[in-house]
Amino acid sequence: MKLRKVTAASAVVFALALTATACGGDDSKDNGSSSSGGGEKIKIGIKYDQPGLGLKTPDGSFTGFDVDVATYVAKELGYEPNQIEWVETKSADRETALARGDVKLIAATYSITDERKQKVDFAGPYLLAHQDLLIKSDADISEATDLNDKKLCSVTGSTSAQNVKKDFAPKAQLSNRGGYSECLSALQNGQVDALTTDDSILAGYAAQDAYKGKFKLAGLKLSNENYGIGVKKGDTETVNKVNDALEKMVSDGAWQKAVDDNFGPANYKNEPAPKIGQLVK
């Protein structure tokens, strides 16, 4: 009888242990917060509407330079491509998505700025772009000052339009939209006179088959935009791992291949790979 009592008690303890494990075993699987991939997934924020950078295609796949960079980084962190869950992250939502833990990383044309570094940490930079203007092919705009009294479109949460109004064209009329595709439609329909953001983004739009010959880049270098990979504030371990991955991507030639594959068709004149780790502290 004594033996039976011990055995029954052990069974109860074992059952309780299994229950506790089942209740608390998946705390970190949703955003890929573990140090290696294993069988889990990692959530990465990207743009869905930026050809050449981050684009969701009609068949549900994802293409672009940011996608290629993020895929390479995820691989170095231990995640295969099929373990990546791509999450649409619009400009105005990036800091919140990281703070809430909705995503582990953000690679979404995320320019490193002092203001943003107060809220998130950055790895990189992995691309140096410049702010420019996209205008109709017959538009007579050759300087940023030509935008005075004209309508200028950018997206909510982006600093591009504000930079133009502050530094070059104080009389420009700002028109903020939810996404770049909305600005592009407004430009095509004549509702705005120019779309401003980084030249890398604009080049992707100008190269689309539907818009070839309709738009052009003004060719202005209005600012330096260093793209970084956003990480939750205080997650220094992940920042260091992502920086190591980016350095490897540059050194083994994968970075240049991604540039050529995504920007080559638009004849985009990219800057050399920036030094990883600068501007992020």
**How far apart are the C-alpha atoms of 281 and 270, rounded to whole Å?**
24
Run of H or E including 216: strand 215-217
**How far apart are the C-alpha atoms of 213 and 166, rounded to whole Å?**
31
**How far apart are the C-alpha atoms of 198 and 195, rounded to whole Å?**
10
- pLDDT average, residue stretch 229-247: 98
pLDDT at 279: 65
Angle at 227 between CA 41 and CA 81, to 5 degrees: 25
The token duo for 274 is: 């920036």
Q: Look at the chain and count its residues.
A: 281
**How far apart are the C-alpha atoms of 84 and 158, rounded to whole Å?**
26
Q: At what angle do helices 199-206 and 254-263 cross, to 10 degrees?
A: 50
| Average predicted confidence (pLDDT) for the chain | 85
Q: Which of 235, 262, 206 is nearest to 103 (CA)?
A: 235
- Greater confidence (151 vs 213) lies with 151
Angle at 31 between CA 82 and CA 226, to 5 degrees: 90
Angle at 256 between CA 132 and CA 224, to 5 degrees: 25
- Look at residue 34 and tell me whether its pLDDT is greater than 70: no
Whole-angstrom Cα Rg for the chain = 23
pLDDT band of residue 109 (cuts 50, 70, 90) is very high
For the ranges 25-39, 241-255, 261-275, the one whose mean pLDDT is highest: 241-255
Specify the range with the lowest mean pLDDT, choosing from 74-83, 93-102, 211-220: 211-220
- Look at residue 68 and tell me whether its pLDDT is greater than 80: yes
The token duo for 158 is: 């982006």
- Greater confidence (76 vs 181) lies with 76
């959530």: which residue's tokens? 43
The token duo for 251 is: 């050194």
Run of H or E including 213: none
What letter would DSSP give residue 191?
A: S
- Greater confidence (35 vs 95) lies with 95
- Greater confidence (40 vs 266) lies with 40
- Look at residue 264 and tell me whether its pLDDT is greater than 80: no
- pLDDT average, residue stretch 73-95: 96
- pLDDT average, residue stretch 179-203: 91
Residues facing 100 on adjacent strands: none
pLDDT at 280: 57
pLDDT at 204: 84
**How far apart are the C-alpha atoms of 280 and 97, rounded to whole Å?**
19
């270098």: which residue's tokens? 221
The residue type found at 42 is: I
Run of H or E including 47: none
Angle at 260 between CA 254 and CA 265, to 5 degrees: 155
What's the start-to-end Cα distance of the chain, in Å?
68
